């Protein structure tokens, strides 16, 4: 399908839309935070504290996590050369959760950056195992790749939950498996700025990732060290996934849906697509979180549940759409 041309002004307009969603997110919740309680005659210190300590960090975390996971999905799809792969369908997220569980079991006092480092190493190992399995499996259909990843993730999850059940850590594992931003406060989201920095690195190396996505032979002929580029990409994906899971838990299907939708409009050039992927990922997470806070107000639905419902439906649509085109 030929990419649809977009006016250059649409990118700032998309950023403006994200800003409006972020502004809306600041005023949605149980506590009364509004312009009147912040700046009007009825201004209160409580409203200001809720805004600065809870609502603003939560909104920033939503933007950073959404953009980072969407970009990680795009990067993993380029490296694996398959449109149906993302951290939660390649064993990456499940391996990161396994790492978090092992740290809680063996070194519960480890600082948060140490936890993320261990989770990153486990995520890298899980993704490497996924790639090693793919080399041994005949890939007669592009659907085989995500199926292998889902089965691998299922095995890792079963092992994680078995150990967690025996060690009374199942509640912590469930928290990491379900994305939830309700506990995000000032001082508990700053790890996500690292994922923003890694997203910037991915943008700087976007052209190399695009070439690497064409295959080892093409990349070598164009003077690109395919192995180093693959290693850099997998490190970025693993560290980003670990940072998001350590902060707010797993957000399923985000890295699968957003890159596929953007590719229909922008094509497969990573440098041109990456800003759109980041903005759309942030916007989708913001929208799902706001909806989750409004549907059963004053309670809220975790964003992992919201994205699971929306993402699984869109995943099935993409599978059926690809299958229909193949036929």
- Residues 119-161 have pLDDT tens digits of 999 999 999 899 888 888 776 777 788 888 889 999 999 999 9
Residue 158 and residue 30: Cα distance in Å, rounded? 36
Cβ density class 26-64: b for 16+ within 10 Å, e for less: bbbbeeebeeebbeeeeeeeebeebbeebbbbbbbbbbb
Look at residue 323 in the predicted model and tell me its pLDDT. Answer: 55
Is the predicted pLDDT of residue 72 greater than 60, yes or no? Answer: yes
Q: Where are the domains of the chain?
A: 8-323
Count CA atoms within 13 Å of residue 101 on its CB side: 29
Residue 277 and residue 195: Cα distance in Å, rounded? 15
Average pLDDT over residues 13-36: 86
Choice between 316 and 116, residue whose per-residue pLDDT is larger:
116
Are the CB atoms for 93 and 130 separated by under 8 Å?
Answer: no
Q: 191-200, 217-226, 288-297, 318-327: which range is least confident on average?
A: 318-327
Look at residue 42 in the predicted model and tell me its pLDDT. Answer: 62
Average pLDDT over residues 52-61: 92
Look at residue 286 in the predicted model and tell me its pLDDT. Answer: 93
| Range among 5-19, 24-38, 168-182 rated most confident | 168-182
Look at residue 22 in the predicted model and tell me its pLDDT. Answer: 92
Is the predicted pLDDT of residue 3 greater than 80, yes or no? Answer: no
Specify the fold of 8-323.
ABC transporter involved in vitamin B12 uptake, BtuC (1.10.3470)
Residue 252 DSSP one-character state: T
Average pLDDT over residues 15-21: 91
Are the CB atoms for 39 and 300 separated by under 8 Å?
Answer: no
Choice between 61 and 269, residue whose per-residue pLDDT is larger:
61
| Range among 4-13, 23-32, 59-68 rated most confident | 59-68
Is the predicted pLDDT of residue 322 greater than 70, yes or no? Answer: no
Strands (E), 68-173: none
Look at residue 9 in the predicted model and tell me its pLDDT. Answer: 55
Residue 51 DSSP one-character state: I
Cis peptide before 298 (omega within 30 of 0): yes
Nearest-Å Rg of the Cα atoms of the chain is 20
Choice between 144 and 43, residue whose per-residue pLDDT is larger:
144
Q: 19-23, 247-251, 307-311: which range is least confident on average?
A: 307-311
pLDDT cut 70: percent of the chain above it:
93
Look at residue 327 in the predicted model and tell me its pLDDT. Answer: 42
Cα distance between the two ends of the chain? 15
Residue 213 DSSP one-character state: T
Single pTM value for the model: 0.87
Look at residue 41 in the predicted model and tell me its pLDDT. Answer: 64
- Residues 198-238 have pLDDT tens digits of 999 988 888 888 888 777 888 888 788 888 888 888 899 99
Look at residue 312 in the predicted model and tell me its pLDDT. Answer: 80
Are the CB atoms for 318 and 84 separated by under 8 Å?
Answer: yes
Average per-residue pLDDT in the chain? Answer: 85
Look at residue 326 in the predicted model and tell me its pLDDT. Answer: 45
Look at residue 1 in the predicted model and tell me its pLDDT. Answer: 45
| pLDDT bucket at 39, cuts 50 / 70 / 90 | confident
């Amino acid at each position: 399908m030929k990419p649809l041309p977009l006016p250059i002004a649409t990118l700032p307009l998309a950023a403006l839309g994200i800003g409006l969603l972020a502004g809306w997110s600041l005023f949605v919740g149980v506590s009364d935070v509004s312009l009147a309680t912040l700046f009007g005659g009825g201004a209160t210190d409580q409203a200001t504290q809720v805004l600065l300590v809870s609502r603003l960090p939560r909104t920033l975390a939503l933007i950073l996590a959404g953009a980072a996971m969407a970009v990680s999905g795009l990067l993993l799809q380029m490296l694996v050369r398959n449109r149906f792969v993302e951290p939660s369908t390649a064993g990456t997220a499940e391996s990161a959760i396994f790492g978090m569980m092992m740290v809680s079991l063996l070194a519960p006092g480890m600082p948060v950056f140490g936890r993320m480092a261990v989770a990153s190493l486990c995520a890298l190992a899980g993704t490497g195992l996924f790639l090693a399995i793919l080399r041994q499996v005949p890939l007669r259909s592009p659907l085989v790749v995500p199926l292998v990843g889902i089965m691998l993730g299922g095995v890792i999850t079963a092992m994680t939950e078995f150990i967690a059940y025996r060690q009374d850590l199942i509640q912590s594992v469930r928290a990491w498996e379900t994305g939830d931003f309700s506990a995000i406060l000032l001082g508990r989201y700053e790890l996500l700025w690292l994922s923003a920095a890694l997203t910037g690195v991915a943008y700087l190396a976007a052209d190399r990732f695009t070439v690497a996505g064409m295959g080892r032979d093409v990349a070598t002929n164009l003077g690109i060290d395919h192995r180093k580029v693959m290693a850099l990409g997998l490190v970025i994906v693993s560290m980003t996934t670990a940072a998001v899971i350590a902060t707010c838990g797993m957000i399923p299907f985000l890295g699968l849906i957003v890159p596929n939708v953007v590719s229909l409009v922008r094509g497969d050039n990573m440098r041109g697509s990456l800003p759109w992927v980041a903005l759309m990922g942030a916007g989708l997470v913001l929208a799902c979180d706001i909806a989750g806070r409004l549907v059963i107000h004053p309670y809220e639905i975790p964003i992992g549940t919201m994205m699971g419902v929306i993402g699984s439906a869109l995943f099935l649509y993409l599978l059926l759409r690809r299958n229909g085109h193949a036929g």
